[in-house]
């Protein structure tokens, strides 16, 4: 205890150099702990985004691209799937449920996904957790929209608000569906997945707003007379062609024609909803043991070029792709730590000549060479321990301040508790490395004490 107190006072006497050494070590340790925590949390967040879905079906292309745009809403599909293909897939004996997805629109930078109410029933994340509504319910009408928790929080939306969707996925779009506003019918509870940053509408709603669009451009529809004008014309015709006694009967006939017209329009929209193309299909199977067999059958489908992707295997491919980037970041972080440790060792070696008076006084008080050896090692332990404490405190502060932004912008939920067994192992390695490197200045101090004795050289 006496030696530790003496080592602390010695460091305070050289606080300028010691603080710079602690700062460099703190930055290196912060990078090592932060990068490792971010890497594990991002993997966990990605792995927890989709749970319980056995296959993702899309147009033939890259498996990774299909995973990214269908699950994580990154990028876009190069080709589409016919609705008839989805209907045939639902008739497969091994398919328990299938969720169609159509994408291509957005709202203020947030993706719009057209699907069926089954999405809110079968989609699961984490450990097969189901989606829950914080307010409202699923879309029922053609122009209803369900929004994620992050969308509601960032744009301050509530139930009943009207919003306008934009054509395309650009954050700023000039092509907007102003003539078909949607009404918010539900707000989903937070999930920590891309669902929070998305909006969900019905397939009929997607078909309706694109009825007059072609190749991303709206085709002007012929000008129609208003219902009031049509009614006036009909009334005028009735006045000229019928007696007043038959006005009520003519009115009823006109109302029946009008309702038939509305039914025809509704059927027209539903027909378009079923004819529209899809971006992807989430599939759940009765028996997971048949996953590879069903995947092969879908890949060999002759109706159109398809591919079926197993989410877990596609994620493995993603981690293999970014593995070299992880290694590079980890290498940079460890190089910063090594540079800090080498700087500490160099500082101690350079300061030995300036501490001859200190060592001579200690020798005169009865301290032996090995006492000075242990003193130098204790100083290094204090420096490394201080750097570790500062790094942990700074990383906790950064995580606490950046957590809401990462969740809202990237859908990544970082846990504040980053101390794991692996992180503890890293800190132990750093501490032991500092002790090993401190042996050089410690032996040097011991040798000088034996050679110089009590003589102070100037």
pLDDT 10s per residue in the chain (458 long)? 666 666 666 667 677 788 888 898 899 899 989 888 888 888 887 888 888 899 999 998 888 889 988 998 888 787 889 999 999 999 999 999 999 999 988 888 889 999 999 999 999 988 888 999 999 999 988 899 999 998 998 899 999 999 998 876 655 554 566 667 899 999 999 888 889 889 999 999 888 887 754 444 455 555 444 444 444 444 444 444 444 444 444 444 443 444 444 344 444 444 444 567 899 999 999 999 999 999 999 999 988 999 999 998 888 888 887 778 888 888 888 888 888 888 888 877 776 666 666 666 666 666 666 677 777 788 888 888 999 999 999 999 998 888 777 766 666 667 778 888 888 999 999 999 988 888 887 777 666 655 554 444 44
Q: Domain total for the chain? A: 2
88/165 same-domain check: yes
Q: Are 158 and 22 contained in the same domain?
A: no
Shared domain for 90 and 15, answered yes or no, is no
**d(C-alpha 193, C-alpha 254), whole Å:** 52
Residues 7 and 30 both lie in one domain? yes
The reply to whether 287 and 153 lie within a common domain is yes
| Claim to verify: residue 300 and residue 193 sit in the same structural domain | yes
Residues in contact with 398: Cβ distance below 8 Å, sequence separation at least 6, in sequence order = 34
Q: pTM of the full predicted structure? A: 0.69
Residues 33, 391 contacting (CB under 8 angstroms)? yes
Q: Between the CA of residue 239 and those of 16, 229, 253, what are the distances in Å?
A: 102, 15, 15
Question: What does the block give as tokens for 424?
Answer: 């503890």
Residue 131 included in any domain = yes
Q: Examine residue 364 and state whether it is found in any structural domain, yes or no.
A: yes
Indicate whether 257 belongs to any domain.
no
* 11 and 99 within one domain: no
Instruction: Indicate whether 234 belongs to any domain.
Output: no
Q: Does some domain include residue 158?
A: yes
Judge if 114 and 159 occupy the same domain.
yes
Tell whether 99 is covered by a domain.
yes
Task: Please indicate, yes or no, if residue 442 is contained in any of the structural domains.
Answer: yes
Tell me, yes or no, whether 158 and 305 share the same domain: yes
Structural domain boundaries, residue 359: 2-46+322-452
Same domain, 135 and 201: yes
Given this model, what pLDDT does residue 169 score? Answer: 64
233 within domain boundaries: no
pLDDT at 251: 42
Q: Are strands 182-188 and 144-147 parallel, antiparallel or unpaired?
A: parallel
């Amino acid at each position: 205890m006496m030696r530790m107190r003496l080592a602390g006072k010695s460091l305070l006497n050289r606080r300028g150099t010691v603080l710079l050494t602690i700062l460099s070590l703190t930055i290196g340790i912060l990078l090592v702990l932060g990068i490792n925590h971010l890497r594990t949390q991002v993997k966990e967040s990605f792995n927890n985004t989709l749970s319980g879905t056995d296959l993702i079906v899309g147009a033939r292309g890259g498996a990774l691209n299909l995973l990214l745009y269908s699950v994580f809403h990154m990028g876009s599909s190069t080709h589409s799937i016919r609705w008839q293909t989805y209907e045939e897939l639902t008739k497969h004996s091994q398919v328990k449920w299938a969720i169609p997805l159509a994408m291509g629109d957005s709202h203020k930078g947030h993706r719009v996904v057209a699907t069926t109410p089954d999405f809110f029933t079968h989609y699961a994340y984490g450990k097969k957790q189901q989606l829950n509504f914080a307010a409202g319910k699923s879309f029922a009408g053609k122009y209803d929209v369900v929004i994620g928790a992050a969308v509601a929080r960032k744009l301050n939306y509530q139930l009943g608000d009207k919003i306008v969707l934009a054509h395309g996925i650009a954050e700023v779009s000039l092509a907007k569906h102003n003539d078909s506003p949607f009404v918010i019918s539900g707000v989903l509870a937070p999930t920590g997945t891309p669902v929070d940053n998305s909006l969900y509408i019905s397939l009929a709603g997607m078909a309706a707003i694109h009825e007059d669009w072609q190749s991303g451009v709206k085709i002007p529809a012929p000008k129609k007379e208003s219902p009031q004008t049509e009614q006036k014309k009909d009334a005028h015709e009735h006045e000229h062609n019928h007696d007043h006694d038959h006005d009520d009967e003519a009115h009823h006939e006109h109302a029946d024609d009008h309702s038939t017209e509305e039914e025809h329009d509704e059927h027209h929209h539903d027909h378009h909803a079923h004819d529209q193309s899809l971006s992807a299909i989430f599939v759940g199977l009765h028996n997971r043991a048949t996953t590879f067999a069903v995947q092969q059958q879908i890949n060999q489908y002759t109706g159109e070029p398809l591919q079926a992707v197993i989410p877990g295997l596609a994620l493995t491919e993603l981690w293999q792709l970014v593995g070299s980037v992880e290694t590079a970041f980890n290498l940079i972080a460890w190089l910063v730590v090594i540079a800090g440790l080498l700087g500490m060792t160099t500082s101690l070696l350079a300061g030995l000549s300036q501490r001859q008076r200190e060592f001579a006084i200690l020798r005169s008080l009865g301290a032996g060479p090995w006492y000075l050896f242990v003193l130098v090692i204790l100083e290094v332990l204090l420096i490394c321990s201080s750097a570790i404490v500062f790094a942990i405190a700074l990383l906790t502060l950064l995580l606490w301040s950046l957590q809401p932004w990462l969740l809202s912008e990237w859908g990544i939920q970082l846990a504040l508790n980053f101390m794991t067994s692996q992180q503890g192992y890293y800190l132990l390695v750093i501490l032991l490395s500092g002790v090993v490197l401190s042996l050089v200045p410690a032996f040097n101090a011991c040798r000088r004490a034996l050679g110089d004795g009590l003589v102070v050289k100037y």
